[in-house]
Every structure is written in structure tokens, then in C-alpha cells.
């Protein structure tokens, strides 16, 4: 409700304890010692300190002055004894416009000394308890760093690839003369989506895939259903992959073209990719002690699964990560440099070759004949290569997996298919 008039004296006495508690909750970090000065100045912002302003507006009737160009909101001063707080000498409130305020709380000397001692004791006790329960932050971050995998993002140029066998999005595929264009059950051609020439891939990935071959992806874009998978071997049957021998006689084949923009993959930009939080919790790659810590506490390493490889961390990310580490391990647990380094260890969104899947709808590693398949390519339709094209909704993310024991097997699963 709007507060059009200042609270009367009795209501102010009722509200002042609520204001002090709200300010302490919003401005005091219990991981750090209390300030040595007995007079503490808190500068509040309406857009950051919502709890404090909920009380301030009622105290001062600030809603009546919202439309004034130069509002004059009277200051308020109240002795701690007036609202039955024996630790506080007095509270002074000065408004800084209608969206800011300075609240000065003056404490008695003996009360402040007691509060400082209590805080220091609590910090030491908490630090000892956390040291006994949790692995140190350096150990957690190091365990995560060990899980980094090579990843490559495509470097694109508009138009068809100069080499008919080159890697590309959309356009027309290269196919051997005797290869048949895949069709659906109604006899309609599937749309050509992309092709990857294994010989053009970075050496590490090329070796995993057998050295050469062209992997072409076709898709039944006429299908009208949301993906649904019941088990680990279920996959998207609308996606068809053909692996061609580039040494056979063949050429560019004309067939059903899709509406996406033809783009050539001219090279691959290398990086390091890290597992999504869901893989840390459910997989067996990370140290057992660290995994238990992550499960028990809900602590998350790295950053958002929506950040593209090469993008900087968010403006407030470093400070936020430092605070999250302090809330877990105590003051000084993570400095700005460490925070920035850890934030650069993340599971990248966007299209990428290899690395770790960025899960957006539940962890789903496909299996083939009981074997867990490896990530070949991540498709992220919100990424630049897919501008102007959508498979079935427009915000899809899919993962293409391959069987390292049988590299002719490629399968796709949409990330938002039902969890199994």
C-alpha cells in the first residue's frame, strides 16, 4: 500500500527495530569482522535495498513525494532506548532524493566491543567447522580444472564452401554418385542441414573419428511433434546422418534445401570446455570428495551454460563469485584473480565441436549397444549460424553423439526431450 503521510510517533517506534534488522541483513556480511568504528554509515538504494526501503517509505511517507522535482523529506532521529535497543545510542536517517538514503547507526562503546568479540569468535568457529566439513576451495577448483576438454568453435564465412567437400551449414551436400538422398516414410526428401569433413578437423578430433570421411546431416523438418525420449538409447529419428567416403567418385548433389543461410566452416577456433553442473553431480569424472561436497551444499563452479565461448564474464560476475565462495568458506576464500580464472572455466553454449554438452533440459548422454557415446557436435539454434532457421521451435539445443567403437554411428538428441 502507498504511504502518503509520515508514520506517527508510536508507529515509528514500532518500525525502527524492523529497519535496523533490514539494514543489517542487507548491508552486513557475516563472513567479515565488524567495523572498528562505533558509528556506522549505511548508504541505501531503493533499487538494491528493497527490505530497508519498504520500512523507510512508511516511516517518512515517501510515496506522497515521488512526483516532486526537489522533494524535501524530513530527516528522522531516534534514540535506541526509545525503541528498546540498549546497544544503540541513536539512529539518524537522511534522505538522498526519493531513491536513496543514508542511515547512521551509533552504538554504545561496551555494546560495540561485545559485538566485535562475538563476531570474531563466530568467524573462527565457522572457519574451523567448514575446514572439517568441506574440501578447501583450491582443491575444489583444481578438481574442476582437471576436467577441461579440448573444444573447437566453427569460424564461418557466408556462402557455399569453395571446396565441394568442405564443411558447411546448409546449401547442398557433396555425395558419392551411388549414394541415395534420404527420405521419410512418405517418400519426401529430408532437408540437408550441414556436412563436416573429418579431414579438415583438428588433429585430436580427426584421429578419434578415423582420419577421413564426410558426415552429412539431414532432417525431416515436416515432422510435427515435440521430442520425447524414454531411455538412454532413444534418439531423434528425424535426424539422419550419412558418412561418405570422400575418395569415391561424386559431386555436389541437388536436393531439398532448407531456409538457413549457406555458410562455409573455414577453420576451427580452439579452446577448453568444462562440464556442466549436472555432469559434476551425476557423473564419475570428478573426485568423489569434491562431488559429495557439491551435492551436499549445492555449490556451483564456473558460470552460466548460456555463455558463448569467447564472451567475457558478466559485469558483476567476479564479485558475485567471490561472495558465493565467502559464503561457503568464509572471508578471503577467493580473491578477484582466482574468481576471474574460475569463471573462465565454464560449459560453453553455442555451436561447438567436442567439449562437454551444455545441458538445458536434463542430462542425457546417449548410448549405443550399451556404450556411452561421445559428444561430436553441439547445435544451438540461438547461435549465429542458425539465424533465420528453426527446426521446430526456435530456441532448440541439440547434441550430436558418435560411437567411438563404431564411428559410422552418429545420433542426435534434443536437449528438451523428456528426461529418462
Domain boundaries, the chain: 9-133, 134-420
Residue 256: the pLDDT is 93
360 vs 309: CA distance, rounded Å? 16
Strands 371-372 and 100-107: unpaired
Residue 315: the pLDDT is 73
Residue 73: the pLDDT is 78
Residue 67: the pLDDT is 57
Using one digit for the tens of pLDDT, what is the confidence trace for 68-119? 555 677 888 999 999 999 999 999 999 888 788 999 999 999 999 999 999 9
40 vs 91: CA distance, rounded Å? 10
- Asked whether 236 and 217 are in contact (CB, 8 A), the reply is no
Element (H, E) at 321: helix 317-329
Show the low-confidence residues of the chain (pLDDT under 50): 1, 418-420
Joined together, the cell numbers standing for residue 261 give 543461410
- Asked whether 328 and 296 are in contact (CB, 8 A), the reply is no
| Residue reference for cell 531513491 | 99
Domain 134-420 sits in which CATH superfamily?
Answer: YwqG-like (2.30.320.10)
SS3 271: strand
Joined together, the cell numbers standing for residue 417 give 526431450
The CA-based angle 218-381-257, given to 5 degrees, is 35
Joined together, the cell numbers standing for residue 291 give 562431488
Q: In what order do the strands lie in the sheet with 76-79?
A: 39-45, 100-107, 88-95, 76-79
Element (H, E) at 293: helix 288-297
Residue 66: the pLDDT is 58
Q: Could you tell me the end-to-end alpha-carbon distance of the chain, in angstroms, rounded to an integer?
A: 47
Nearest to 327 by CA among 126, 144, 141, 143: 126
The dihedral over CA atoms of 332, 337, 342, 348, expressed in degrees to the nearest 10, equals 150
Number of H helices, E strands in the chain: 9, 18
Kindly state the percentage of the chain with pLDDT values over 70.
94
Nearest to 346 by CA among 314, 316, 382, 319: 314
381 vs 344: CA distance, rounded Å? 23
In Å, how far from its chain's centre is CA 230?
A: 27
Joined together, the cell numbers standing for residue 266 give 573455414
Element (H, E) at 106: strand 100-107
The dihedral over CA atoms of 161, 413, 365, 296, expressed in degrees to the nearest 10, equals 110
Joined together, the cell numbers standing for residue 2 give 502507498
Residue 1: the pLDDT is 47
Using one digit for the tens of pLDDT, what is the confidence trace for 287-331? 898 999 999 888 888 666 688 887 888 778 888 888 888 888 888
Nearest to 411 by CA among 351, 380, 365, 357: 365
- Asked whether 106 and 39 are in contact (CB, 8 A), the reply is yes
Joined together, the cell numbers standing for residue 85 give 535497543
46 vs 48: CA distance, rounded Å? 6
Q: Is 120 left (phi over 0), alpha (psi -120 to 50) or beta?
A: alpha
Structure letter (DSSP) for residue 188? P
* Distances 352 to 28, 155, 272, 374, 397 between C-alpha atoms, Å: 43, 10, 11, 13, 12
Amino acid at each position: 500500500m502507498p504511504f502518503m503521510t509520515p508514520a506517527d510517533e508510536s508507529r515509528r517506534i514500532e518500525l525502527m527495530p524492523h529497519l535496523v534488522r533490514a539494514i543489517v541483513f542487507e548491508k552486513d556480511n557475516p563472513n567479515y569482522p565488524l567495523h572498528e568504528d562505533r558509528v556506522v554509515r549505511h548508504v541505501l538504494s531503493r533499487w538494491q535495498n528493497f527490505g530497508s526501503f519498504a520500512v523507510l517509505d512508511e516511516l517518512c511517507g515517501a510515496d506522497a513525494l515521488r512526483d516532486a522535482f526537489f522533494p524535501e523529506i524530513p530527516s528522522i532521529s531516534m534514540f535506541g532506548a526509545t525503541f528498546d535497543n540498549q546497544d544503540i545510542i541513536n539512529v539518524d536517517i537522511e534522505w538522498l532524493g526519493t531513491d536513496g538514503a543514508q542511515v547512521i547507526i551509533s552504538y554504545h562503546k561496551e555494546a560495540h566491543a561485545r559485538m566485535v568479540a562475538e563476531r570474531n569468535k563466530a568467524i573462527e568457529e565457522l572457519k574451523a567447522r567448514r575446514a572439517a566439513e568441506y574440501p578447501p576451495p583450491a582443491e575444489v577448483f583444481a578438481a574442476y580444472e582437471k576436467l577441461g576438454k579440448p573444444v573447437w568453435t566453427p569460424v564461418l564465412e557466408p556462402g557455399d564452401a569453395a571446396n565441394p567437400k568442405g564443411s558447411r551449414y546448409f546449401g547442398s551436400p557433396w555425395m558419392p554418385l551411388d549414394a541415395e538422398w534420404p527420405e521419410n516414410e512418405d517418400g519426401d526428401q529430408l532437408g540437408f542441414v550441414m556436412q563436416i569433413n573429418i579431414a579438415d578437423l583438428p588433429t585430436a578430433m580427426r584421429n578419434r573419428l578415423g582420419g577421413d570421411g564426410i558426415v552429412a546431416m539431414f532432417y525431416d523438418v515436416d515432422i510435427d511433434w515435440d521430442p520425447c525420449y524414454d531411455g538412454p538409447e532413444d534418439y531423434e529419428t528425424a535426424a539422419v546422418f550419412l558418412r561418405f567416403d570422400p575418395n569415391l567418385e561424386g559431386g555436389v548433389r541437388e536436393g531439398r534445401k532448407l531456409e538457413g543461410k549457406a555458410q562455409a566452416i573455414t577453420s576451427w577456433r580452439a579452446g577448453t570446455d568444462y562440464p556442466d553442473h549436472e555432469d559434476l553431480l551425476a557423473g564419475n569424472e570428478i573426485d568423489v570428495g569434491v562431488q559429495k561436497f557439491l551435492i551436499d551444499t549445492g555449490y556451483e563452479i564456473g558460470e552460466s551454460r548460456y555463455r558463448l565461448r569467447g564472451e567475457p564474464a558478466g559485469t558483476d560476475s567476479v564479485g558475485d563469485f567471490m561472495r558465493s565462495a565467502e559464503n561457503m568458506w568464509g572471508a578471503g576464500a577467493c580473491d578477484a584473480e582466482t574468481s576471474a580464472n574460475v569463471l573462465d572455466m565454464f560449459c560453453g553454449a553455442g555451436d561447438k565441436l567436442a567439449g562437454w554438452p551444455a545441458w538445458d533440459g536434463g542430462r542425457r548422454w546417449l548410448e549405443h549397444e550399451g556404450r556411452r557415446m561421445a559428444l561430436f557436435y553441439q547445435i544451438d539454434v540461438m547461435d549465429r549460424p542458425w539465424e533465420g532457421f528453426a527446426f521446430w521451435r526456435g530456441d532448440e539445443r541439440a547434441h550430436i553423439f558418435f560411437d567411438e567403437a563404431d564411428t559410422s554411428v552418429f545420433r542426435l538428441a534434443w536437449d528438451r526431450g523428456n528426461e529418462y
